[in-house]
Amino acid sequence: MRLINQTKKTVLSENVSIASTFWQRIKGLLGKRFLLPGQSIVLDPCNSVHTFFMRFPIDVLFLDKDYKVLKAIPKLEPNRITRIYWYSNRVVELPAGRLNFTSTQAGDQLQLLE
Contact predicate 3/12, CB 8 Å: yes
* pLDDT (0 to 100) of residue 27: 82
Percent of the chain with pLDDT over 70: 100
CA 24 to chain centre: 14
From residue 15, alpha-carbon distances to 53, 56, 81, 83, 94 in Å are 23, 19, 25, 27, 10
Whole domain around residue 82: which residue ranges? 2-113
**pLDDT given for residue 31 in this prediction:** 75
Helix (H, G, I), strand (E, B) or coil at 23: helix
For the chain, what is the domain count? 1
pLDDT score at 29 = 79
Mean pLDDT, the chain, integer: 95
By the 8 A CB rule, do 71 and 85 touch?
Answer: yes
SS3 39: strand
Output 22 or 62, whichever has higher pLDDT.
62
Q: How confident is the model at residue 24 (pLDDT cuts 50, 70, 90)?
A: confident
Burial, 75: exposed, middle or buried (Cβ in 10 Å; 0-12, 13-18, 19+)?
A: middle
Residue 112 has pLDDT above 90, yes or no: yes
Task: Let me know: does 10 contact 102? Beta carbons within 8 Å.
Answer: yes
CATH number of the domain encompassing residue 94: 2.60.120.1140
pTM greater than the 0.85 cutoff: yes
